[in-house]
Chains A and B, each alone.
Chain A
Amino acid sequence: MTAVLPGAVDCAGKPSRDFTYVPSRRRRLSEYEAVTCFTQPDIEAYDQQGWLLRDANGRPPWVRESTALVHPDWFSFRDPASHWQRTYVRMQAEQERAIERSAEDAAAEGVFDEFDPVWVRDILGRHYRAWSYAEYGLFRAFAVAQREALSDTLGNALCFEAFDRMRHAQAIVLHLLELEDHIPGFVDDGAKAVWLEDPRYQPTRRLVEELVAGNDWGELAVVTNLVFDPILTEISVGQLVRRFGPFHGDPVTAHLIGTTERDRRRNLAWTREFVRMVTADGVPERESNRATIAGWLASWTPRIEEAAEALADVYDVPPLQVARFEDVLDKALRTQSAIVADLGLDVGVMA
């Protein structure tokens, strides 16, 4: 049929009707692979002429030293979620609408009247709001990581994670504004001082600042998604805010956190895939990569655990003791250990 179209060529074989330069993981090229792969030039593959510009110190656009990990083909990474912009933005738009509707419903049903005042003032207004700064810091760190990543598939996964972090930070602010509208006397103020000065939060702030100061995008992904989130975010947000909330008349915040936990699962999944990729059989540097990652885990896990322990007192703030801090921490550490053990990695300080 196409042969009759103006401009058609019917005398030079049957043309391919799809990209032929992308090695697909599946039988057919996925939409994700098609619109993502090789959008970043690869001077080892299709762009062998090399770089055409350097900075004032002679640094080319991308450098292998941007991570201590080594892999012969960073472009072979595939995000298990197969996200490209359209699917990612659609997913986040759905999550944001869900948050908005849950707040609307809560307002209409008078649910905000049932929120415990201590819960609102100290846990949501101070503790959870302080967490928005941690997320913002991580946004900044991931924005740099996406710049430096050595392939498009990795750069995009890091870019989406940067956006996740800012989304969570903003969602907390909007949630508290909603509370200001519906809970007489509640004002969102004072959390920045908590973040900057309260001794319980300083180990977390130090970690975030260190992650922002870091210079290795591989390390950032491994530390944040395999250690920071499973231990610290779980203790600070997943357990204390999501789990305790309904017992303090607040089923709404849990809904918001559910959306960020969905992001966390996605980020954990791609980071697992990333670690498997750099430690896979056939990767010449797999042992040194394994040692590098083990070094990161050994360096960061104790400090992240300490930061979690520094928050122990905050578990005494909610009027109802839904769970003991020690139990929650123990469970988080076990879960995190299982994650790294499953990847065949050194589990750091955890026995």
Chain B
Amino acid sequence: MRNLIKAHDRVKDFDWEHSYAEKPDRYPTKYKIPRKTKDPFRHLIRDYVSMEQEKDDRQYGAMEDALARSNSAGKAQPRWMEILKIAIPTVNFGEYAAMKCCGQLIDTVDNAELRQGYMAQMIDEVRHTNQEIYLNRYFAKHAADPEGFHIGLKARGVNLFGVAGRAALEAFFVGDPVEGALNLQVVAETAYTNPIFVTLTEVAAANGDNVTPSVFLSIQSDEARHMANGYSTLAAVVSNEDNLKYLQTDFDRAFWRQHAFLDPFLGTVYDYFQKERGSSYLEKWTEWIAEDWVGSYISKMEPFGLAVPEWFYLAQEHMKWKHHTAAMLAAASWPMHFWRWDPLTEADFEWFENKYPGWYELYGAFWENFARTTGAADGVNPLAAFEALPPLCQVCQMPCIMPRLDCNEVRFREYGGRILPFCGDPCEKIFFDEPIRYEQSVNFWQHHDGRSIAEYISASGMLRADGRTLIAQPSLDTDRMWTIDDVAAWDYQITDPMPAIAAQLAAAGSGTNGSAHGSANGSAS
């Protein structure tokens, strides 16, 4: 009979003080972590591989057997299936980035207990990376409309929102490893994996997709251990008072960076792609993020000196509209994506108004118009309704139109001889605290500046097998599908809006502008 206590003690006694060669400070951290802490990981590798093999067998077995025979993927609601074309590849980078985060933590955090936990998480993240791409490929094989699934990771790289996702998720492993752990384990995993891997599975199942829940719930069964890693890391950090002076700032930044992308993204996936409707994203956000994470998890840390993130209440205020605004821009730019939209119906309008009172007055006209003008015969370019493309935030890479077009918080600031846009106060502050981390980022409009939208679509491989029909469509109607010729006829160029805005600000005699609400940026006409 194995003595588990002895086994755990001994496998956590592998560290020694190196005396022949000094390890370089590869991933510098300002935090002091005690060498001994509570052990977050209670599995030996022997138990771990056996447990994970069983979970893999259950999940992959179900996908290839009962779920394949019942053709769950093929029969699911088309509206729901469409958004998975971008959702899966985008979330996937989070897993891959998490694996890299763990490598840094293993190197930097000189604590044998925590290292064991990071090691298991590192291999878990390979698991999740593989599971999600397996799911993506499964949909390429089995979905009613496979186009878009078949180019998932490639298309992510050239997608406006795929790139914004990468901007947030790079924070898992680029920078101080402890700050990476705050982004990954404390914010993304503890706060956001529940809305991603738990509540999205409810939507999936309600909409006939039983495959995504099989994968996501299997992933979530590992996340509890990662949350424990986060909690132990955090507990170790707060145990040294010297750390507190950095911790809150890093935590504030981590929360905002993840919120700025994840909430508009998840909110759009959740609210705009349900056909069989249930809860709203706001309801789930309130339950998981506000009540569970802030109300319970973070408040437990308060006696140790960690407070609710500075911008949490601003985020909470934004939550009512932010993702509706993001969804509107995503729909208006539909030809640039690789999924189809299903225009909202009267029943959807009613649901939105019920869940978000006031929604119809703000967004109803856009969606009614969108539904009317989606026929290729109409030839209407929805982006032409904007005076100019909205600036993209230098930090979060999201459009500076949040929380709403009519009350956005965009601001322009001069830095290094350039005028840079920020979506609001938090991203501006984050930038000026450490400009070196963000100043070199090239945004989506800048990168594609001067290209025609038709050229962008063709070069990105976002055409269907016939070589002319777009993968993206503004509706699920197969009688009126848009082609590259329809888009070419617009003669619309992607134009970085910033040179014009900078000129406008210079002409107005102000290098910067703190309250350019809907003036210099695009506002829907």
Q: How far is the CA of A156 from the CA of B126 in the complex (A)?
A: 8
**Chain B residues closer than 8 Å to A152, beta-carbon distance:** 96
CB distance from B340 to the nearest CB of A (A): 8
**Known: A21-B154, A50-B441. Contact between A147 and B173, CB under 8 A?**
yes
B103 pairs with A51, CB closer than 8 A: no
In the bound complex, how far is the Cα of B148 from the Cα of A15, in angstroms?
10
A38–B153 CB distance below 8 A: yes
A33, chain B: closest CB distance, angstroms: 10
Within 8 A of A (CB), among B438-474: 438, 440-444, 447, 461, 464-469
Q: Is the CB of B99 within 8 A of A17?
A: no
Indicate if A247 sits at the interface (CB-CB under 8 A).
no
Q: Is B100 an interface residue (CB 8 A)?
A: yes
Residues of A near B82 (CB, < 8 A) are 7
Taking CB atoms and an 8 Å cut-off, the chain A residues in 2-55 that contact chain B are 2, 5-21, 31, 34-42, 45-55
Q: Does B437 contact A (CB under 8 A)?
A: yes
The residue from A11, A46, A52 contacting B481, defined by CB atoms under 8 A apart: A11
Which of B146, B157, B440, B465 has its CB near the most chain A CB atoms (within 10 A)?
A: B157
Annotate A169-209 by CB proximity to B: 1 below 8 A, 0 otherwise.
11101100110110000001000100110000010011001
Bound together, the chains give a CA A312 to CA B152 distance in angstroms of 56
Residue pair B53, A58 in contact (C-beta under 8 Å): no
Task: Kindly report which residue of chain B lies nearest to residue A60, judged by CB atoms.
Answer: B174
Tell me the chain B residues, 142-185 only, with Cβ under 8 Å from chain A.
143-147, 150-154, 156-158, 163, 166-167, 170-171, 173-176
> Provided the pairs A46-B154, A49-B157 are in contact, do residues A9 and B478 lie with their beta carbons within 8 angstroms?
yes
Q: Which B residues are in CB contact (< 8 Å) with A139?
A: 119
Partner of B74, one of A5, A89, A93, A144: A5
Q: Which one, A160-168, A228-236, A263-271, A284-292, is touching chain B?
A: A160-168
What is the chain B residue whose CB lies nearest that of A1?
B74
B1-30 near A? 1/0 per residue, CB < 8 Å: 111001100110111101111111010100
Cα distance A183–B95 when bound, in Å? 45
Residue with the highest number of chain B CB atoms closer than 10 Å, among A37, A167, A174: A174
Per-residue contact bits, chain B 57-91, to A (CB 8 Å; 1 contact, 0 not): 00010000000000100110110011000000000
Stretch at the interface among A115-123, A210-218, A321-329, A332-340: A210-218
* A148 CA / B52 CA spacing, docked (Å): 26
Partner of A147 from the list B45, B104, B126 (CB cut-off 8 Å) is B104
**Considering only CB atoms and an 8 Å cut-off, how many residues of chain B contact the other chain?**
104
CA distance A297 to B139 in the complex (A): 47
Would you list which residues of chain A between 85 and 124 have a CB under 8 Å from chain B? 85-86, 89-90, 92-93, 96-97, 99-100
Q: Does A77 contact B (CB under 8 A)?
A: no
Query: How far, in Å, is A239 (CB) from chain B's closest CB?
Result: 24
CA of A238 to CA of B130, assembled, Å = 33
Of residues 381 through 430 on chain B, the ones whose CB sits less than 8 Å from some CB of chain A are 397
Q: Give A170 to B107 CA distance when docked, in angstroms.
A: 19
Q: Can you name the residue of chain A whose Cβ is closest to the Cβ of B123?
A: A163
Given the known inter-chain contacts A36-B130, A173-B7, please indicate yes or no for A54 contacting B49, CB distance below 8 A: no
A12/B466 contact (C-beta < 8 A), A39-B92, A53-B175 known: yes
- Are the CB atoms of A169 and B14 closer together than 8 Å? yes
- Residues of chain A within 8 A (CB-CB) of B10 are 173, 177, 188
Residues from chain B with Cβ under 8 Å of A35 in the complex: 129-130, 133-134, 137
Task: Give Cα distance in the complex from A13 to B448, angstroms.
Answer: 28
Other-chain residue from A6, A16, A155, A206 in contact with B21 (beta carbon distance below 8 A) = A206
Q: List, in ascending order, chain A residues with CB within 8 A of B137's CB.
A: 18-19, 34-35
> When chains A and B are docked, how far (Å) is the Cα of A292 from the Cα of B286?
56
Please give the distance in Å from A61's CB to the nearest CB on chain B. 5
| Residues of chain A within 8 A of B2, CB atoms compared | 174, 177-178, 181
Contacts of A6 in B (CB 8 A): 75, 77-78, 144
**Interface bin, chain A:** 35 or more
Known: A35-B137, A166-B45, A213-B22. A96 touches B119 (CB 8 A): no
Q: Is B372 an interface residue (CB 8 A)?
A: no
| Bound-complex Cα distance A55 to B178 (A) | 13
B481 x A181 contact (CB < 8 A) = no
Q: Nearest-CB distance from B35 to chain A (Å)?
A: 15
A15 touching B170 by the CB < 8 A rule? no
A16-B465, A177-B6, A206-B20 given; A96·B140 CB < 8 A: no
* Pairwise interchain contact B167-A15, C-beta atoms closer than 8 A: no
Partner of A7, one of B19, B78, B436: B78
- Cβ of A15 and Cβ of B151 under 8 Å apart? no
Are B150 and A20 closer than 8 Å at their CB atoms? yes
Q: Are A93 and B469 in contact (CB under 8 A)?
A: no
Bound-complex Cα distance A31 to B131 (A): 11
Contacts of B32 in A (CB 8 A): none
CB distance from B214 to the nearest CB of A (A): 14
Contact B129 A39 (CB under 8 A): yes
| In contact, A12 and B176 (Cβ under 8 angstroms) | no
Nearest CB on B from A210, distance (A): 4
A139 to B119, CA, bound (A): 9
**Most chain B beta carbons < 10 A, residue from A39, A42, A53, A167:** A53
Chain A residues with Cβ below 8 Å from B447 are 48-50
Q: Is the pair A51, B170 in contact by a Cβ cutoff of 8 Å?
A: yes
Q: Is A132 an interface residue (CB 8 A)?
A: yes
Q: How far is the CB of A251 from chain B (nearest CB, A)?
A: 20
Shortest CB-to-CB span from B219 to chain A, Å, is: 12
Q: Is the C-beta of A143 less than 8 angstroms from some C-beta in chain B? A: yes
Choice from A2, A86, A144, A170 contacting B56 with Cβ under 8 Å: A86
A14 to B115, CA, bound (A): 50
Residues 100-131 of chain B, each 1 if its beta carbon lies under 8 Å from chain A, else 0: 10111011000000010001001100110111
Contact of B133 among A39, A53, A167, A171 (CB under 8 A): A39
- Closest CB-CB distance, A114 to chain B, in whole Å? 21
Contact at A144–B13, with CB atoms within 8 Å? no
Hey, which chain B residues are within 8 Å of A100, CB to CB? 46
A147 touches B100 (CB 8 A): yes
A13–B464 CB distance below 8 A = yes
Give B97's nearest chain A residue, CB to CB. A61
Q: Which of A9, A19, A86 has the most CB of B within 10 A?
A: A9
A270 to B349, CA, bound (A): 56
- Whether a CB of chain A sits under 8 angstroms from the CB of B141 is yes
- The 8 Å CB contact of A13, one of B6, B145, B397, B466, is B466
Q: Are B478 and A209 in contact (CB under 8 A)?
A: no
CB within 8 A of B119: which of A20, A54, A155, A163? Answer: A163
A35 vs B119: C-alpha distance when bound (angstroms): 21
Contacts of B52 in A (CB 8 A): 89, 93
- State whether A17 touches B11 (Cβ < 8 A): no
Whole-angstrom distance between the Cβ of B204 and the nearest chain A Cβ: 15
Q: How far is the CB of A307 from chain B (nearest CB, A)?
A: 12
B15 contact set on A, CB distance < 8 A: 136
A133-B16 contact given A18-B150, A144-B107, CB 8 Å threshold: yes
Instruction: Provide 11 A-B residue pairs closer than 8 Å at the C-beta atoms, listed in order of the A residue.
Output: A5-B75, A39-B92, A39-B133, A51-B440, A53-B170, A53-B174, A86-B127, A93-B52, A159-B126, A166-B119, A210-B20
Beyond the given A9-B478, A53-B441, A61-B170, could you list 12 further A-B residue pairs with CB under 8 A, ordered by the A residue number? A18-B150, A46-B158, A49-B442, A49-B444, A52-B170, A53-B437, A54-B436, A55-B437, A61-B173, A92-B45, A155-B99, A163-B123
